[in-house]
Amino acid sequence: MINKNFLPKKIPVFPLSNFIIFPNTSVPLNIFEPRYIEMVNDCMKSDKLLGMIQPKMHKVESQNIPELHKIGCLGKIMDLQKTDDNRYLIELKGLIRFDIISEINSKKNYRECDVSFDKFYDDLEKKEEDLKFSDLELIFRDLRNLFEKRGFIINWKALENQSLDETINALAMASPFTLEEKQVLLETKNLDARKSKIADILKTYTFDNYNNTTIQ
């Protein structure tokens, strides 16, 4: 785990559609675009840190680049494998969320931002939560039904062997929710609020036999 005193003020950002990472979760990424190969190379030469962020649908005025959501998650490259066709397969571990302060006019081929972690230091703390696994039973039931309806496969036993924060964040990340819904989950204050928001979103799906795809 990274000490908050060593968090960078400027980070490279990877705007990736259909993808959100949460603190205390790990995900594989397939890196193949030259600009992001360059980004990973630069990260590996320094602190191995990069920011995952959701792009918005519309473009920045006067530029042919998508506008970014304001909140993303800082990740650390834990493993890197180079393939025969010069792709990178990396394992990225989510550490802490960040606010984008401003985008830097960078000479790099990838985007960089000045960021703040001030609102999210709790992401770095291992603290006792009031939640128990029994509090997740209804969520587990409804998520199982939703996953089956959408044809998703998940290892529920593996989830039950994780810590509570890892389980809630993994469910939020792996769930077949819309990107807007996942962005809402990422921006919720803490685990308790995230658990409640997952339950609220699930109600909109169960109300319509798991076919609904909007937050009510």
Q: Is 214 among the domain residues? A: no
Pick the last residue of a domain from 103, 124, 145: 124
> Do both 39 and 101 map to the same domain?
yes
The reply to whether 54 and 142 lie within a common domain is no
Q: What is the CATH number of the domain that holds 14?
A: 2.30.130.40
Q: Does residue 212 belong to any structural domain of this protein?
A: no
**Which one of 73, 107, 124 terminates a domain?**
124
In this structure, are 19 and 112 located in the same domain?
A: yes
Number of domains in the chain: 2
Dihedral sign for Cα atoms in the order 50, 117, 54, 212: positive
Q: Are 137 and 156 within one domain?
A: yes
Rounded Cα distance, 68 and 70, in Å: 6
Q: How far apart (Å, rounded) are the C-alpha atoms in residues 187 and 98? A: 10
- The answer to whether position 211 is within a domain reads no
Task: Please name the helix (run of DSSP H) or strand (run of DSSP E) that holds residue 96, with its range, or none.
Answer: strand 88-103
Q: What is the pTM of this model?
A: 0.82
pLDDT at 194 over 70: yes
Same domain, 66 and 84: yes
As a whole number of angstroms, the distance between CA 176 and CA 170 comes to 12
What tens digit of pLDDT does each residue of 16-74 get?
987 889 898 888 999 999 999 999 999 999 999 999 999 987 665 556 788 999 999 99
Question: For residue 215, is it within any domain?
Answer: no
What's the pLDDT at 127?
60
pLDDT tens-digit map of 114-164: 999 999 999 998 765 556 666 677 777 777 777 777 777 777 677 667 777
Work out whether strand 49-53 and strand 10-15 pair parallel, antiparallel, or are unpaired: parallel
Does residue 58 sit in the same domain as residue 82? yes
- State whether 143 and 111 are in the same domain: no
Boundaries of domain holding 59: 4-124
In a domain, 12, yes or no: yes
